[in-house]
Chain A
Amino acid sequence: MKRMGIATTVGRGLFASMLAGFLGAGIATAQEPVRVGAFLSVTGPAAFLGDPEQKTLELYVEKLNAAGGVLGRKLQLVAYDSAGDAEKARTFARRLIEQDKVDVIVGGSTTGETMAVVPLVEQAGVPFISLAGAVVIIEPVKKWVFKTPHTDRMACEKIFLDMRSRGVGKIALISGAGGFDKSMRAECLKVAAQNKIDIVADETYGAGDADMTAQLTKIRTTPGVQAVLNAGFGQGPAIVTKNFRQIGMTVPLYQSHGVASKEYVKLSGEAAEGVRLPAAALLVAESLADSDPQKKVVVGYKREYEGRFKSEVSTFGGHAYDGLMLAVEAMKRAGSTDKAKVRDALEATHSYMGTAGAVNMSSQDHMGLDLTAFRMLEVRNGDWTLVK
Chain B
Amino acid sequence: MMSRLASPRCGGLLALVAVIAALPLVLSNNYFYEVAILVGLNAIVCVGLNLLIGYAGQISLGHAGFFGLGAYGSAILSARFDWPPLAALAVATIAVALLAYVIGRPILRLRGHYLAMATLGMGVIVSIVAATEDRWTGGPDGMPVPPFKLFGGTLSGEGAWYCVVGSLLVVAVWLTLNLIESPTGRALRALSGSEVAAEVSGIDSARHKVLVFVISAVFASVAGSLFAHYSGFITPSKLTFLHSIELVTMVVFGGMASTYGAVVGAAVLTTLPQLLTVFKDYEMVALGAIMMGTMIFMPKGLVPSIGGLVGTAAGAARARKAVR
Spell out A's residues near B (CB within 8 Å).
8, 11-12, 15, 18-19, 22-23, 25-28, 42-43, 80-81, 84-88, 90-92, 94-95, 97-99, 110-112, 115-116, 119, 134, 177-179, 182-183, 206
Contacts and interface: CB of A to CB of B under 8 A. Distances in A.
Contact of A25 (B132, B237, B278): B278
Contact of A182 (B134, B231, B277): B134
B280 A177 contact: no
Contacts of B32: 98-99
Nearest to B147: A119
B29 A99 contact: yes
A85 B38 CA distance: 15
B29 A177 contact: no
A306 to B, nearest CB: 21
Contacts of A91: 31, 34-35, 38, 274
B19 interface: no
Given A86-B237, A115-B144, A116-B231, A12 B273 contact: no
A70 B78 CA distance: 46
B188 interface: no
A212 B237 CA distance: 25
Interface stretch (B50-58, B101-109, B283-291): B283-291
B206 interface: no
19 contacts: A15-B298, A43-B283, A81-B280, A87-B231, A88-B273, A91-B34, A94-B34, A97-B31, A98-B30, A98-B32, A99-B31, A112-B142, A116-B233, A119-B232, A177-B131, A179-B140, A179-B141, A182-B134, A182-B140
A374 to B, nearest CB: 22
Contact of B293 (A18, A86, A92, A95): A18
Interface string B107-150: 00000000000000000000010011010000111101000000
A111 to B, nearest CB: 5
B290 A19 contact: yes
A84 to B, nearest CB: 7
B275 A95 contact: no
B258 interface: no
Interface string B209-250: 000000000000000000000011101011000000000000
Nearest to B309: A12
A116 B38 CA distance: 16
Given A90-B231, A116-B235, 5 more contacts: A15-B297, A177-B140, A182-B134, A182-B139, A183-B141
Nearest to A101: B29
Contacts of B142: 86, 112, 115-116
Contact of A26 (B238, B277, B281, B290): B277
Contact of A115 (B134, B233, B280, B298): B233
Interface of B: 29-32, 34-35, 38, 128, 131-132, 134, 139-142, 144, 231-233, 235, 237-238, 272-281, 283-284, 286, 290, 293-294, 296-298
Nearest to B238: A87
Q: What 3 A-B pairs have minimum CB-CB distances, sorted nearest first?
A: A26-B275, A179-B141, A98-B31
A182 B34 CA distance: 31
Contacts of B274: 26, 91, 95
A11 B141 CA distance: 44
Nearest to B302: A19
Contacts of A11: 296-297
Contacts of A15: 293-294, 297-298
Q: Interface SS of chain B: helix, strand, loop or mixed?
A: helix
Nearest to B142: A112
Given A26-B277, A81-B277, A112-B142, A86 B235 contact: yes
A111 B293 CA distance: 36
A88 B276 CA distance: 13
A116 B131 CA distance: 16
A85 B139 contact: no
B257 to A, nearest CB: 20
B141 A119 contact: no
Contacts of A25: 275, 278-279
A130 to B, nearest CB: 13
Contacts of B237: 84-87, 112
B233 A90 contact: yes
A112 B140 contact: yes
Contacts of A99: 29, 31-32
A22 B297 contact: no
Contact of A87 (B30, B140, B235, B297): B235
A178 B140 contact: yes
A177 B31 CA distance: 33
Given A19-B290, A112-B235, A182 B30 contact: no
Contacts of A43: 283-284
A223 to B, nearest CB: 28
Choose among A28, A84, A115 the residue with the greatest number of B CB atoms under 10 Å from its CB: A115
A73 B34 CA distance: 31
A86 B290 contact: no
Given A115-B141, A177-B140, A183-B141, A26 B297 contact: no
Contacts of A92: 277
Contacts of A112: 140-142, 235, 237
Given A81-B280, A182-B140, A95 B290 contact: no
Contacts of A84: 237
A377 B285 CA distance: 39
A95 B31 contact: yes
Given A26-B277, A95-B274, A179 B139 contact: yes
A84 B242 CA distance: 13
B140 A119 contact: no
B149 to A, nearest CB: 16
Given A90-B231, A119-B233, A182 B35 contact: no
A178 B237 CA distance: 12
A27 B275 contact: yes
B46 to A, nearest CB: 17
Contacts of B232: 116, 119
Nearest to B35: A91
